[in-house]
Amino acid sequence: MIRGGRTTPRRVEENTLTTYRIAVIGGTGPQGKGLGYRFAKHGHEVILGSRAAEKAEPVAAEVTERLAGVSGAGTVTGLANADAVAAADVVLLAVPYDGHDELVATLPLAGKTVISCVNPLAFDKRGAHGRVVDGGEGSAAESAQRIAPEATVVGAFHNVSAVLLWGDEDYLDEDVLVVGDVVEAKQVAMELAASVTSRVGIDAGKLRLARQLEPFTAVLISINRKYKVHSGIRVSGLGHAATE
């Protein structure tokens, strides 16, 4: 499932991790840019995608500048979305839900491992809440899988704080929950999670559970507003079960 993933080995404690070439669709938005920064910081090659290469390039330059002097950092470049996908092994969908389906349909995703962190949310005067996708029986990740049946879609990184991703802490005190129907694709996202949280992500079940992960972000947004914090999820009770 890790199709064409390059295998430049990188030593992290006692593990060797694969270095991926990752297209970040929505790479100029806060979530995409922040995740791209974290992935590149840990040696992955990141291609920020946007509608036009000219929009992606200055953001890529900003991330590259931020990584100056970071030993072992990967490169960060900017391309138009479809070109970014064509150049990558792994595709991170980090776009707003509005227009998501139409955009996904334009991307050459066949054969790629696709990670969706798209959150279908709505906001009104009572705060954030989840949008109903397919009458409650769907999610952005499942929509992407349906639109791109020859890709392997997983859901992950829905709930990590964009502010903290771009912040100064080495790692975020959060867990990355990964859902999907193909174990090997989940493992890619679980491995990438270590760039963000220092721990591999947690296998949280089948792709349909993206219906739960995506709108949970509305709960965290509500907590953030109430307590003036940047909250995240940690899963307790795992002990060392989920650690490397």
- Binding region for its own copies (CB under 8 A): 126-130, 132-133, 135-137, 161, 164, 173-174, 177, 179, 202-206, 208-209, 211-213, 215-216, 218-220, 222-223, 226-239, 241-242
> Cα separation of 196 and 219, whole Å?
21
Task: Give the C-alpha separation, 192 to 37, whole Å.
Answer: 12
Burial 63-92 (b: 16+ CB within 10 A, else e): bbebbeeeeebbebbbbbbbbbbeebbbbb
Q: What angle do CA 136, 107, 206 make, to 5 degrees?
A: 35
Query: Do 157 and 115 touch, CB atoms closer than 8 A?
Result: yes
Q: Which is nearer to its own copies, 10 or 230 (CB)?
A: 230
Q: How far is the CB of 85 from its own copies (least distance, A)?
A: 29
Taking the complex as a whole, the smallest distance from the CB of residue 136 to its own copies amounts, in Å, to: 3
Judge whether 90 and 101 are in contact, CB under 8 Å: no
Of 119 and 195, nearer to its own copies (C-beta) is 119
Could you give the CA distance from residue 173 to residue 160 in angstroms, rounded to a whole number? Answer: 9
**Beta carbon nearer to its own copies, 72 or 171:** 171
Q: How far apart are CA 1 and CA 28, in angstroms?
A: 27
Nearest distance, CB of residue 129 and its own copies, angstroms: 6
Indicate the residue among 47 and 210 with the shorter CB distance to its own copies.
Answer: 210
198: phi then psi, degrees, rounded to nearest 5: 80, -5
Least Å distance, CB 39 to its own copies, is: 21
Output the smallest distance, CB 155 to its own copies, in A. Answer: 11
Nearer CB in complex with its own copies: 87/233:
233
